Chains A and B, each alone.
Chain A
Amino acid sequence: MTPEALLGGFADAPRQSARAFRAALESMARPGTLWSVEGAAPPAPLSVAAGVLILTLCDGTTPLHLGASCDLPVVREWVTFHTGAPLVTADEAQFALGTWADLTPVDRFAIGLPDYPDRAATLIVEMPSLENKGPRLTGPGIKVVAHLSLPETSAFRANRALFPQGFDTYLTSGAQVAGLPRSTIVEAV
């Protein structure tokens, strides 16, 4: 194991993960809003925000899929050392991490069962940047309308059509995170 894999975790896990979760909760509850998180220093190419989400939400009970661009020895070691999450293929994953190109086609991921729609994957999509521009978002958590720079719209529209099944998404860039639950209606503008 490389020394790099041992560094970059939370220094004060209970408090730092609590603050990170609040940002994760607010961003999933208010799609289209951008939140900043801190506390993790994951190895490249992972963003701070992706690292924080992994540390906050993943553990030995949550199979994680690493997309091709993230599937490096140092990332595998970092995730394993800090969370113990088993690394798996896309179809078995509860969480998946990668760029949009890594994660597509997204129909490989679990969308839950008709009677247990919660048994669905959460995707963490690394983005070059995040801004309140682009596709129009409406639905629960949005007062009127929001905009978010999504990598595409058709995959999210197809996902919304599966409701209440479907995957949920976090978009990360640097220290920023935005949430896109399956309930959000996405329209290209």
Chain B
Amino acid sequence: MTDQSAYNFAYLDEQTKRMIRRAILKGVAIPGYQVPFASREMPMPYGWGTGGVQVTAACLVPEDRLKVIDQGADDTTNAVSIRRFFQRTAGVAVTEATEEATVIQTRHRIPETPLTEGQILVYQVPIPEPLRFLEPRETETRKMHELEDYGLMHVKLYEDISRHGQIATAYDYPVKVEGRYVMDPSPIPKFDNPKLVGNAAIQLFGAGREQRIYALPPYSEAISLDFEDYPFAASKADHACDLCAAPDSYLDEVITDDQGSRMFVCSDTDFCASRRKAGHVGPMGTPMAGG
């Protein structure tokens, strides 16, 4: 890529951005409903966040400070390349600190630090249709959403219970938005589902290959589907972070050798690093210089 002056601001042409922006606004007006949009080819393959990138491109203003995370981490390939993409094509400032960011594009996590008004969280979504693996035909799933016919989803959760003794769905856990549409919150761990609810930030979801945009306005209700006798429970590894000792953050299990040794670390790298800078040290961590 050459310098940013060779590109329109935020890469996409204005006609495309208007089309995406209109879809976003309709998505915000109908929380949880998947708005079809004419997804464009982006300079990265489908599956690498093309939907999220298009939504981010349509939302960015020159004054924004962008954070990009992949599974909670700021320093993984996908996050680094998308961040650099917008540094070059939009000239926006970037950050790794959740509280400093105005737009956060995420793959599969919601940051541990609570979001605030003025922030936008953009999710990369692989399969936006929560009913897709239960009913492959788009014509049928569209009719099911129209008729609010979500019995099949409850059957799936029930089958989980009958097979495994509990609801075994651990990520991509369906939610019912504002009492109307059942929505796929993208493959975030179900640990993050409670953070969807009543969030002060605007949450936008972009699925590039599947050509859908949907949204959760701030302070929306998103109830994780469950049963009275098997209530929804946000789960995580029963451990504290080995680096920062956080007892309440979502953890990745990391295999450290071929002898079965392993460690649990926060999946949110910014959260973990800021805790370590504040002096929290886990059993396998070393003190970090204060920031």
Question: Within 8 Å of chain B (Cβ to Cβ): is A101?
Answer: no
CB distance from B198 to the nearest CB of A (A): 8
Q: Is the CB of A122 within 8 A of B18?
A: no
The digit string for A20-37, where 1 denotes a CB below 8 A from any CB of B, is 011011101110000000
Given A28-B28, A120-B26, A140-B219, A14 contacting B14 (CB threshold 8 A):
yes
Question: Which B residues touch A140, using CB under 8 A?
Answer: 31, 178, 216-221
A interface list, Cβ under 8 A from B: 13-15, 17-19, 21-22, 24-26, 28-30, 56-59, 61-62, 114-118, 120, 122, 139-143, 163-164, 168, 181-183
- Among the stretches B57-65, B231-239, B244-252, the one at the interface with A is B57-65
Give the residues from 1 to 24 in chain B that come closer than 8 angstroms, CB to CB, to chain A.
8-10, 14-15, 17-19, 21-24
Q: Which are the 9 A-B pairs with shortest beta-carbon distances?
A: A14-B9, A181-B29, A141-B217, A118-B26, A140-B217, A115-B146, A168-B29, A29-B217, A118-B35
Q: Is the CB of B180 within 8 A of A164?
A: yes
Q: Is the CB of B14 within 8 A of A13?
A: yes
Q: Is the CB of B61 within 8 A of A115?
A: no
Question: Which A residues touch B10, using CB under 8 A?
Answer: 14, 18
Checking A143, A168, A181 against B219 with a beta-carbon cut-off of 8 angstroms, the contacting residue is A143
B interface list, Cβ under 8 A from A: 8-10, 14-15, 17-19, 21-31, 33, 35-36, 58-62, 117, 120, 142-143, 145-146, 178, 180-181, 200, 202, 215-221
Chain A residue nearest to B201 (CB atoms) is A29
CA distance A139 to B217 in the complex (A): 10
Question: Which B residues touch A164, using CB under 8 A?
Answer: 30, 33, 180-181
Chain B interface, >50% SS class: mixed
Which of B19, B30, B59, B120 has most chain A Cβ within 10 Å? B30
Q: Is the CB of B14 within 8 A of A22?
A: no
Question: Which B residues touch A143, using CB under 8 A?
Answer: 200, 218-219
CA distance A13 to B215 in the complex (A): 26
Q: Is the CB of A115 within 8 A of B178?
A: no
Chain A residue nearest to B13 (CB atoms) is A14
Given A115-B142, A182-B30, A141 contacting B218 (CB threshold 8 A):
yes
Q: Is the CB of B29 within 8 A of A18?
A: no
CA distance A6 to B178 in the complex (A): 45
Q: Is the CB of B61 within 8 A of A183?
A: no
Which of A62, A118, A143 has most chain B Cβ within 10 Å? A118
Checking A13, A24, A58, A142 against B25 with a beta-carbon cut-off of 8 angstroms, the contacting residue is A24
Chain B residue nearest to A144 (CB atoms) is B219
| A-B residue pairs in contact (CB < 8 Å), sample of 13 | A15-B61, A18-B60, A21-B21, A21-B58, A30-B117, A62-B22, A140-B31, A140-B217, A140-B220, A143-B218, A168-B26, A181-B29, A182-B30
Question: Which A residues touch B25, using CB under 8 A?
Answer: 24-25, 28, 57, 122, 168
CA distance A163 to B179 in the complex (A): 11
CB distance from B90 to the nearest CB of A (A): 9
Given A21-B59, A56-B18, A30 contacting B30 (CB threshold 8 A):
no
Q: Is the CB of B218 within 8 A of A57?
A: no
Chain A residue nearest to B145 (CB atoms) is A115
CB distance from B267 to the nearest CB of A (A): 27
Question: Which B residues touch A139, using CB under 8 A?
Answer: 178
Question: Which B residues touch A181, using CB under 8 A?
Answer: 28-30, 217
CA distance A74 to B257 in the complex (A): 74
Given A163-B180, A164-B180, A29 contacting B18 (CB threshold 8 A):
no
Checking B9, B23, B202, B215 against A18 with a beta-carbon cut-off of 8 angstroms, the contacting residue is B9
CA distance A183 to B26 in the complex (A): 11
Chain B residue nearest to A59 (CB atoms) is B18
Q: Is the CB of B17 within 8 A of A17?
A: yes
CA distance A167 to B58 in the complex (A): 23
| Other 11 A-B pairs with CB < 8 A, given A17-B18, A57-B21, A164-B180 | A15-B9, A21-B59, A25-B25, A29-B215, A29-B218, A30-B217, A62-B22, A118-B27, A118-B30, A181-B217, A183-B29
CB distance from A81 to the nearest CB of B (A): 16
CA distance A17 to B8 in the complex (A): 12
Question: Which A residues touch B36, using CB under 8 A?
Answer: 116, 118
Q: Is the CB of A117 within 8 A of B61?
A: no
CB distance from B163 to the nearest CB of A (A): 33
Question: Which A residues touch B143, using CB under 8 A?
Answer: 115
